[in-house]
A and B are shown apart, each in its own frame.
Chain A
Amino acid sequence: MENTIEVKNLTKKYKNLTAINDLSFSVKKGEILGLLGPNGSGKSTTINCLLSLLSYDQGSIKIFNEEMTPDSYEIKRKIGVVFQEVAIFEELTVKDNIDYFCGLYIKDKNTRKKYIEDAIKLVGLEKFKKFYPKQLSGGLLRRLNIACGIAHKPKLIFLDEPTVAVDPQSRNNILDGIQKLRNQGATIIYTTHYMEEVELICDRIIILDKGKIIASGTLDELKSLATIEEKVSVEVQDLEEKYLEEIKKLKYVDLVTYQNNNLQITYKKGQNNISHLIDFFNKNKIAYNKIFSERPTLNDVFLELTGRELRNE
């Protein structure tokens, strides 16, 4: 499939600090690429370089098969950006804000009118068209921020942490909207440090750390990098030390932690682990309340690759 973005050997330095180190990747037309990494990993710097908001020391960036420069207005015409910070006019209504940012790309009034309505519908702000930003909640502001970034129907969309500090309802709405945009044919680069979102909507994922790509691929490909297979959590009241030691000796168990009556067991392989554990509890007459199992997350992958937690960075 045709590449929308091609980045080769991209390096960006701030004096002695290398923010991006020899980054190479491509984004295929119509896919959602997730850029995942802790704060300071180089996600925003990468996006800013791609958008020519930052110069870079080395490498090349091609968007729609053309070199991207600050004066590439034809390329910019096809790009939409939603930054982490909400960029809107406090003095304008929801509709007027979208009109302004759409107007930077679309001159025809009638086309713009239709696009504005589409954007409002996409983010679910129909009831708030005439509201001023100060009358909107944080979640609605984020939705407006997205509408302003995508109203001109761009073919390539950059979404930089669009769901930070957003309520669950707005988050679901935003994620639904992003999937709709992809279904409409847009290519999307999505940066976040929320793994759940990446797992939910991204076709491919690049994990960045200290300006370097430490892993990339589909969700399944990345998860296969993890040596663990299953994580089981059980709520157990006052578990004795001797039982903890015995659990550690159970088949495929890799790691056992017990904190605040919450027992967490990591298995290297995952078949019938829960049933074996329940058998063990029943046999030793250990009372338990909730028990659930989960597959390894991207955080586990990151933990294995870097030795650090992704979500705590």
Chain B
Amino acid sequence: MIIFKTFLKILLKNKFIIITYTAILIFFGCFNTQTNDNTTNFSATKPDILIINKDENKGLTKDLITYLNKNSNIKKIPDKKYSLDDALFYRDVNYIIYIPKDFREDFLANKNPQIKIKSTKDYQASLAEMMLKRYLKTATIYHSEIPNEKDLLESINSTLKVSTQIQMTTKLNTNSLNKMISYYNFANYSILAGCVYVICLILSSFKEKSIRKRTIISSLKSSTYNLNLLLSNSLFALILWIFYVILSIILVGNAMFTPHGILLIINSFIFTLCALTLAFFIGTLLSNKNAINGIVNVIALGSSFLCGSFVPIEYLPKSVTQIAHILPSYYYIKNNELIKKIEIINLKTINEVLINGIILIIFILIFILLTNIISKKRRDFSYQ
């Protein structure tokens, strides 16, 4: 208990530096999440159309204009050549339709009247062209069978009314998922840097040579001492992890409670344990307080760059990704990316995620083992 109490006192004594450090990490984490807002929502867009009608506004011609009016934004620009060219150049309109004189009559008389167009040749213009072609094609098909104009217009409109309902097979919110992945990928750096910095800072006080010597000669068993220290540090890591999870809920919202969000949270928990044991191992090795900043940069920043925390791993050279295989961050980030790709979560689809999780647990065991060996060696070194 005295170890835990002292741990907390040292933690509180360093609260300013710890809070400042964590705040900086959080700021960058949030910034990274917001700037990675890859919108993938679809919404219908209406092209801007100018109709220059030389025909009488009745019958088929009127019906065509009404149809276009429903599905696009009809613009009014004076029918002067330079005005029309300017409108196209400045994208005030995407598509200009010239309905010629006697269009209606010629169409009904099967004279195949020509509609001239001018276009910006962009995506919006293609939409406008699609609409126009759809109307004319439908009208042409029906007119071969229905000579009466009234019946013809009824048939055209009933056909054009039909729309297809598209239903997504999964309810995956890709925008939120992208945000989550971005946040949790960056958390690799935040959690690793936070754990290594704070744990090494506190351990450096406990492991200071003269204090360690005094502890060794006390009646407190070495194993009890190490266990108490590990548990105290675990509490800090747990608080840090909970903090990051809560922040992700604030940033991303309810999407964190979806199976994908929960998988990301579990993955980050295993990684936090890995960061904790790694930090404990480094803290056992480290005897110089001044080296902590350097160590944090090498460990946290280095592995974050190598493993794709900042830059997607696909963009990194193969030699770099091969080196990354020896780092726990690689498996953590790889899991995040795998979770992103899974559509329906079941045992089969998360198989690879589980394997990576097991690899992370193996890393945890290796770090614990190494810490024990080093700790014992250190003790043996003094006892010789």
* Bound form: Cα–Cα A96–B8 in Å: 12
The answer to whether B214 touches A81 (Cβ under 8 A) is yes
On chain B, the residues within 8 Å of A52 by CB distance are: 217, 383
On chain A, the residues within 8 Å of B208 by CB distance are: 87
Contact with B along A85-108 (1 / 0, CB 8 A): 111111110001001110111010
On chain A, the residues within 8 Å of B13 by CB distance are: 91-92
Interface stretch (choices A71-79, A252-260, A289-297, A298-306): A71-79
On chain A, the residues within 8 Å of B5 by CB distance are: 99-100, 103
Q: Is A30 engaged at the interface, CB distance under 8 Å to the other chain?
A: no
The answer to whether A105 touches B383 (Cβ under 8 A) is no
- State the majority secondary structure of interface residues on A: loop
Q: Is B162 engaged at the interface, CB distance under 8 Å to the other chain?
A: no
On chain A, the residues within 8 Å of B9 by CB distance are: 91-92, 96
Closest A residue to B215 using CB positions: A104
The answer to whether A92 touches B6 (Cβ under 8 A) is yes
Give the contacting residue for A81; candidates B14, B217, B384; CB below 8 A. B217
Closest A residue to B210 using CB positions: A87
Q: Is A55 engaged at the interface, CB distance under 8 Å to the other chain?
A: yes
* Bound form: Cα–Cα A104–B5 in Å: 12
Identify which of residues 198-253 in chain B touch chain A, using a CB-to-CB cut-off of 8 Å. Answer: 205, 208-211, 213-221
Query: How many B residues touch A, CB cutoff 8 Å?
Result: 26
Contact with A along B10-22 (1 / 0, CB 8 A): 1001100000000
Q: Is A125 engaged at the interface, CB distance under 8 Å to the other chain?
A: no
The answer to whether B10 touches A104 (Cβ under 8 A) is no
On chain B, the residues within 8 Å of A148 by CB distance are: 214
What's the nearest-Cβ distance from chain B to residue A117, in Å? 17
On chain A, the residues within 8 Å of B1 by CB distance are: 103, 107
Q: Is A54 engaged at the interface, CB distance under 8 Å to the other chain?
A: yes
On chain B, the residues within 8 Å of A107 by CB distance are: 1
The answer to whether A53 touches B210 (Cβ under 8 A) is no
Q: Is A128 engaged at the interface, CB distance under 8 Å to the other chain?
A: no
* Bound form: Cα–Cα A291–B205 in Å: 53
The answer to whether A100 touches B6 (Cβ under 8 A) is yes
Closest A residue to B11 using CB positions: A91
Q: Is A194 engaged at the interface, CB distance under 8 Å to the other chain?
A: no
Given contacts A54-B382, A105-B218, contact A100 B210 (CB under 8 A): no
What's the nearest-Cβ distance from chain B to residue A13, in Å? 11
Q: Is A42 engaged at the interface, CB distance under 8 Å to the other chain?
A: no
* Bound form: Cα–Cα A86–B13 in Å: 20
On chain A, the residues within 8 Å of B215 by CB distance are: 104
Contact with A along B343-384 (1 / 0, CB 8 A): 000000000000000000000000000000000000100111
Give chain B's interface residues, CB within 8 Å of chain A.
1-2, 5-6, 9-10, 13-14, 205, 208-211, 213-221, 379, 382-384
21 contacting pairs across A/B (C-beta < 8 A): A53-B213, A53-B216, A53-B383, A54-B382, A73-B220, A79-B217, A81-B214, A85-B209, A85-B210, A86-B210, A88-B211, A89-B10, A90-B205, A92-B9, A96-B9, A99-B5, A101-B214, A104-B214, A104-B215, A104-B219, A148-B214
Report the 3 A-B pairs with minimum CB-CB distance, sorted nearest first. Answer: A103-B2, A87-B210, A104-B218
